[in-house]
Chains A and B, each alone.
Chain A
Amino acid sequence: GEDVEQSLFLSVREGDSSVINCTYTDSSSTYLYWYKQEPGAGLQLLTYIFSNMDMKQDQRLTVLLNKKDKHLSLRIADTQTGDSAIYFCAERSSGFQKLVFGTGTRLLVSP
């Protein structure tokens, strides 16, 4: 079955780059996603990457996909205190829109 793994916690200083990693098992995944959850709120889509891409850049966000190793990463450049949140990796399994989420990585940005 599908499984998505993430490290639980990451702490960085303001201005540094943050890299959040994720591994998944479903080789038939078509899209992979990064969602952000701020305290007391639901999840919001940050960015996504189609499985035939290796990299996607969107302002301060860079997504890298290594299909061979089934590894996805999210790099946040110039991390700000407002980036402190839980970041979820998710894969879209074949078929409909079912998303399988990782455990979430809590990012703490200190001044």
Chain B
Amino acid sequence: DARVTQTPRHKVTEMGQEVTMRCQPILGHNTVFWYRQTMMQGLELLAYFRNRAPLDDSGMPKDRFSAEMPDATLATLKIQPSEPRDSAVYFCASGSGQVANTGELFFGEGSRLTVL
């Protein structure tokens, strides 16, 4: 059963600490997205990759956030230093990236981050 896997599912940390969230996309998918969900802002696109190359990270605060794909099976989202306003659920999603297809994205279950 192919699915997107995210770790950790829950993370509580103190302000100023580094946080790293990981995502394993569905095997064979070549587009990966990071979204952040909060009550106030809804679902915001932070960054996305195609064939491991970053295509758009304009939604990400550059001073503290970084997103990478070290290889095709791993995407990471790092926050350093973390702040209370970063508290949210972070979703990773992957897709097959073919223009001809429907563009469906498959979402992980999310990483719930609480920064105290």
Closest chain B CB from A31 CB (angstroms): 5
CB distance B55 to A45 under 8 Å? no
Chain A interface size, as a band, is: 20 to 34
The A-B contact count (CB < 8 A) is: 61
16 CB < 8 A contacts A-B: A30-B103, A40-B109, A41-B110, A45-B105, A48-B102, A96-B55, A96-B97, A97-B48, A97-B50, A97-B97, A97-B103, A98-B56, A99-B45, A101-B42, A101-B43, A104-B42
Listed in ascending order, the chain A residues whose CB lies under 8 Å from chain B are 30-31, 33, 40-45, 48, 88, 92, 96-104
In the assembled complex, the Cα of A41 lies from the Cα of B37 at a distance in Å of 12
Tell me the B50-68 residues at the A interface (CB within 8 Å): 50, 55-56
Listed in ascending order, the chain B residues whose CB lies under 8 Å from chain A are 4, 31, 33, 35, 42-43, 45, 48, 50, 55-56, 91, 93, 95, 97, 99, 102-105, 107-110
Nearest neighbor of A104 in chain B, beta-carbon distance? B42
In the assembled complex, the Cα of A45 lies from the Cα of B43 at a distance in Å of 15
Residues on A with C-beta less than 8 A from B4 are 42
In the assembled complex, the Cα of A42 lies from the Cα of B104 at a distance in Å of 14
Closest chain A CB from B38 CB (angstroms): 11
Residues on A with C-beta less than 8 A from B99 are 96
CB distance A48 to B104 under 8 Å? yes
CB distance B108 to A97 under 8 Å? no
Closest chain B CB from A3 CB (angstroms): 11
Q: Known contacts A97-B97, A101-B42: does B55 contact A43 (CB below 8 Å)?
A: no
Residues on A with C-beta less than 8 A from B107 are 42-44
Contact of A88 among B43, B50, B95, B108 (CB under 8 A): B43
Residues on B with C-beta less than 8 A from A103 are 42-43
Nearest neighbor of A2 in chain B, beta-carbon distance? B45
CB distance A98 to B48 under 8 Å? yes
Closest chain B CB from A94 CB (angstroms): 10
Residues on A with C-beta less than 8 A from B103 are 30-31, 33, 48, 92, 97, 99
Closest chain A CB from B110 CB (angstroms): 6
